Structure 1
Amino acid sequence: MTEREIEILAILKQDPLIPQQELADKIGISRSAVAGHIMNLTHKGIIRGKGYILAKARYAVVIGGANMDILGRPTDGLRVGDSNPGSVSCSPGGVGRNIAENLSRLGTETRLMTAVGKDAYGQQIIEHCQHAGIDMKNTLQLSDGITSTYLSVLDGDSDMHVAINDMAILERLNVDVLKSQQAMLQRADLIVIDANLSEASLAYLLSNYADIPLFVDTVSCAKATKLKPYLNAIHTLKPNLKEAEQLSGIAISHYDQLPNLANWFHEQGVERIFLSLGIDGVFYSDKQEQALIPAIPVSMVNANGAGDAFLAGLAHGFIQDWSTRKSTEFAMAAAVVALSDIATINPNMSEISVNRVIKESIC
């Protein structure tokens, strides 16, 4: 879906009987333009019948962190210990939230469970997510909590030099809160979890929802260790090589050893594993097939958010019933779209833009 279609669909979910002129006034376009977008949504099978009856959609639930990303970017090379001329920008971020926004922009119905404060950053995150088409009804907004922030500084090559995060509020997304959403979680077609969650919350989800495909983002080496007792519950795991080595205790000296590493995870019960190899690409394994797919060349603008876009691409591919290889290629192209914009989430993220990257990489 296009960004405008996502915006229209979000309004129709709240008010299926809204007149076209009122809808046009809400989003600042003409009534005829609204009619055109609604016709496109009807042709895609998303709207059915009068009164804008929405087709029953498969949906994903994302459970994880949401924060405000504060990004510092030097004009030239980074001079450590000195004041650097450059730019500073703010945008909604957080691993779980990033995955949810990318997934929604790709066209999958997405519900986000996270925790934010009733402060300016929290309200901005809520409104931004709703604008992107994410269902936020299951998100906690706490009057006695401070919205998470993530401060990062890039180096001269646009890669992260250092970062500091303040994510204490995510501890409030506890087991009791998760239990209160049991019915919604049980109806999900897949659940995406990021390892920023507390050990207790991870244990609850991985122990009680193994019958639903669980996609897990390891986040970091330190946080990945929390997953080790529950690998048998994970359907799709997305670590980088260092995280996979730490989880398995297997050190890799050459990429020829990657199949053995992947097989160790399969022996623990993981259905699919996607090993991020940075500029060397992605090694995927789903028990039936294993392959290393080279990275797509890209002029990187901001390294933040590429991994989140990759996992969103995998989840979107699963909802679409694509093969593991097709899902991997799509996810890698989604990461390229993410890398091409200064914001954590590229506002042009869509299935169309991802497929364009795939097409151009083949030519």
Structure 2
Amino acid sequence: MTSAPDILCIGSVLWDIIGRTPVHMAAGADVPGRITRLPGGVAMNIAMTLARFGLRPALLTAIGRDAEGDALIAEAARLGLDCGHVYRSDDLPTDRYMAIEGANGLIAAIADAHSLEAAGDKILRPLLDGALGRPGAYWRGPVALDGNLTLSLLADIAASTAFHEADLRIAPASPGKAERLVPLLPLTNATIYVNLEEAGIICQRRFASAAEAANGLIDRGARRVLVTDGARRAADGAPNGIVQADPPPVLVTRVTGAGDTFMAAHIAAERRGRNREQALAEALDAAALHVSGDIGS
């Protein structure tokens, strides 16, 4: 690809190894189902969804120079993603994520994103060396940033002038990493995407609704937040008010990647000129389609 991308997706790009079954599961269950390997990771999931909406995302991540990494790059390129700025490591393996999902939701998951964390700021070099930006002419477009980066690197991003002109869209990688977003909350060019649990972790309190959580995050200094709560009402919060919408009722057959799909669909909707109410509704519709996807029996 030679032209500039529409958006940068910074963070985890890895292989998702997902075991799914259409039955309810408990700890220790041994049931039939399907095991798949698909491109995943927060940055990858967002980029794939953006590509389906007609945008051209570029990936900034770390991928090993191993067979799994070569296959992942090839698949990303096939999906229309710009991989020309990916940091390829000779000594770090390609990251992986493993999850078990049942009819009652996510049972357990392990994210092995150690290579991304070890690569550190090497993945950001294209924003400084002229490939995507340089001092005096930094990237000014949208950036989807995930919380799989280390706390120190996220703090550096919050302080870096390289991101001050960008439209930052940020999401935690998981509830366990939600606190990593705290340094990014005060940025005036940042929109934070979280679920109700993650909002509670960031604010160190429990919230009864997405709207309450959105207000809590605004009180903590956030400029704008999108809070989801599964099948319950979601909220778009900003200092000038809260917008709410209900997700369409669907039968949930998968959960991995739902938040990433919501975020990408919301970004795409706003790039098409949708207002806050319309963008929130379209993002909820896209997430509902994702979680209701067919599952093999």
Instruction: Give the TM-score normalised by structure 1.
Output: 0.73
Indicate the SS of the match to 1:232.
coil
Pairs within 5 Å for 1:286-325: 286-325=238-277
Q: Which residue of 1 aligns with 2:191?
A: 236
Output the CA distance in 1 between the equivalents of 2:261 and 2:175: 19
Alpha-carbon distance change, 317 to 58 in structure 1, aligned in 2, over 3 angstroms: farther
Indicate the SS of the match to 2:186.
helix
Between stretches 236-245 and 173-182, larger displacement belongs to 173-182
Measured after TM superposition, the shift of residue 270 of structure 1 is 2.3
Between stretches 225-234 and 78-87, larger displacement belongs to 78-87
Q: Which residue of 1 aligns with 2:53?
A: 106
Larger Rg: 1
Q: Which residue of 1 aligns with 2:176?
A: 222
Runs of 4+ in 1 over 6 A off after TM superposition: none
Tell me how large the CA RMSD over aligned residues is: 2.2
Alpha-carbon distance change, 331 to 259 in structure 1, aligned in 2, over 3 angstroms: closer
Identity of counterpart residues, as a percentage? 26
Task: Specify which of 233, 245, 249 is matched with residue 204 of structure 2.
Answer: 249
Judge conservation of contact 1:215–1:236 (CA < 8 Å) in 2.
Answer: yes
Indicate the SS of the match to 1:239.
strand
Task: Specify which of 164, 168, 175 is matched with residue 110 of structure 2.
Answer: 164
Pairs within 5 Å for 1:1-363: 13=1, 59-74=6-21, 76-78=23-25, 80-157=27-104, 159-182=105-128, 183=130, 184-185=132-133, 186-208=138-160, 209-233=163-187, 235-252=190-207, 254-255=208-209, 259=211, 261-341=213-293
Between stretches 113-122 and 95-104, larger displacement belongs to 113-122
Output the CA distance in 1 between the equivalents of 2:272 and 2:52: 14
Measured after TM superposition, the shift of residue 58 of structure 1 is 6.8
Output the CA distance in 2 between the equivalents of 1:262 and 1:88: 36
Judge conservation of contact 1:203–1:230 (CA < 8 Å) in 2.
Answer: yes
Output the CA distance in 1 between the equivalents of 2:265 and 2:190: 15
Amino acid at match of 1:303: V
Output the CA distance in 1 between the equivalents of 2:178 and 2:36: 29
Q: Size of the alignment, in residue pairs?
A: 286
CA distances 1:116-152 after superposition (whole Å, capped 9, x unpaired): 1122321222111111111111112222221111111
Amino acid at match of 2:165: D
Output the CA distance in 2 between the equivalents of 1:107 and 1:131: 14
Measured after TM superposition, the shift of residue 263 of structure 1 is 3.3
Output the CA distance in 1 between the equivalents of 2:80 and 2:122: 27
- Gap runs ≥5 in structure 1: 1-12, 15-55, 344-363
- Please identify which structure carries the higher strand content: 2
- Gap runs ≥5 in structure 2: none
Alpha-carbon distance change, 221 to 78 in structure 1, aligned in 2, over 3 angstroms: closer
